[in-house]
Amino acid sequence: MKSADDLVDEEQGFLSHLIELRERLVKIVIVVGLIFAALFTFRNEIYIAFAAPLADQLGPDANIQTIDPAGSFFAPLKLVLMMSVFLAIPFLLYQIWAFVAPGLYKHEKRLVFPLLVSSTGLFYLGVAFAHFVVFPLVFAFFVSVAPEGVQVNTDITRYLDFAITLFFAFGIAFEVPVATVILVMVGITTPEQLVKARPYVFVGAFIVGMFLTPPDFISQTLLAIPMWLLYEVGIVFSRTLKTRVKEAGEIRDSNNGLLIGENESSSDSETKPTDTPDSSDAPDDSKNDASNSDAPKPRPNAPKGSYPTSLMDAPHDPDAEP
């Protein structure tokens, strides 16, 4: 049963984490607000550049219009606000990393930080791919299939919603390599199982593209093919990660003296009573070792070189920060 002092210490620690979280959230809001203030003056120019893929396909005789009286103001405003959050993503991820990093082991930091950086870069890459590659092809297809005599015009608010949907679809789809690496890292699957699931992933990519993109085969294909290729990239990186994790586990086990099957005979001999007359007076080292809670414990049923990296099942780490 915990004493009153222990409960007070736990409550103070919890409150300190909440205060730190509040401070970091305030910093994120301030940064987003500063970016928004800097971009607000150029909101109309930003929207024109944002709508360039559609305007280029409509031609000089067509215009992007608005059917909402306040749409000419709120659509660019919404775009600038979302762009502010979009540009502040690196700072946001840094604040998240700074908040959780003190509670991580060193080997977990070496894995989590590269994943945060790579996931941010892949999300930006997916958005850029959608804007510069997908949009021109999709809008060219929509304009070309319009019936004769029908002039294709669109509302600025509907175009904004359409484009943002595709941005998030491609940004999330480009996170496939990170997802595969995480699945291998936490032990849910293996690179060999990922290779066996390749045909199902290929079909599933087209199914996902059907739900995340507009009802046309061009955007669906342009989303499914990169997802499948990025899945292959994830398999390559997961194999590299598996090799490094195994090597790190073997080195770590050897340093801690926890290699499976090592010193089994010596440990059995230490547990047997000796026949020397002074054995009763000798200090019991096995009891002292057993009572030492800081000593690393062997992991039951762990294969040689295993190296758990789950944040919820962290092994004893002698290099962990206090």
More confident residue, 189 or 32: 32
In percent, the amount of the chain with pLDDT more than 70 equals: 68
CA pair distance 39, 182, nearest whole angstrom: 36
Q: What is the pLDDT of residues 19-29, one digit of tens each?
A: 888 898 999 99
- Residue 108, pLDDT score: 67
What is the SS3 string spanning the chain?
CCCHHHHHHHHHHHHHHHHHHHHHHHHHHHHHHHHHHHHHCCHHHHHHHHCHHHHHHHCCCCCCECCCCCHHHHHHHHHHHHHHHHHCHHHHHHHHHHHHHHHCCHHHHHHHHHHHHHHHHHHHHHHHHHHHHHHHHHHHHHHHCCCCCCCCCCEHHHHHHHHHHHHHHHHHHCCHHHHHHHHHHCCCCCHHHHHHCHHHHHHHHHHHHHHHCCCCHHHHHHHHHHHHHHHHHHHHHHHHHHHHHHHHHHHHHHHHCCCCCCCHHHHHHHHCCCCCCCCCCCCCHHHHHHHCCCCCCCCCCCCCCCCCCCCCCCCCCCCCCC
C-alpha span between 187 and 315 (Å, rounded): 15
User: At a CB cut-off of 8 Å and minimum separation 6, what does 272 contact?
Assistant: none
Q: How many whole angstroms separate alpha carbon 57 and alpha carbon 134?
A: 13
Identify whether the C-beta of residue 155 lies closer than 8 Å to the C-beta of residue 65.
yes
Looking at the predicted structure, is the pLDDT value of residue 286 above 90?
Answer: no
Q: For 233-249, what is each residue's pLDDT tens digit?
A: 888 888 877 666 566 55
pLDDT at residue 73 tops 60: yes
Among 41-55, 121-135, 215-229, the minimum mean pLDDT is found in: 215-229
Indicate the pLDDT class of residue 80, thresholds 50, 70 and 90: very high
Closest CA to 245 of 287, 304, 289: 304
pTM: 0.66
Q: Is the pLDDT of residue 225 over 80?
A: yes
Is residue 319 within 8 Å of residue 109, measured between CB atoms?
A: no
Per-residue confidence (pLDDT) for residue 315, from 0 to 100: 46
Instruction: Judge residue 308's burial from the number of C-beta atoms within 10 Å of its C-beta, 0-12 exposed, 13-18 middle, 19 or more buried.
Output: middle
Question: Could you give the CA distance from residue 208 to residue 205 in angstroms, rounded to a whole number?
Answer: 5
User: 148, 192 in Cβ contact below 8 A?
Assistant: no
Tokens of 206: 């087209």
The pLDDT assigned to 9 comes to 57
Q: How many CB atoms lie within 10 A of CB 48?
A: 13
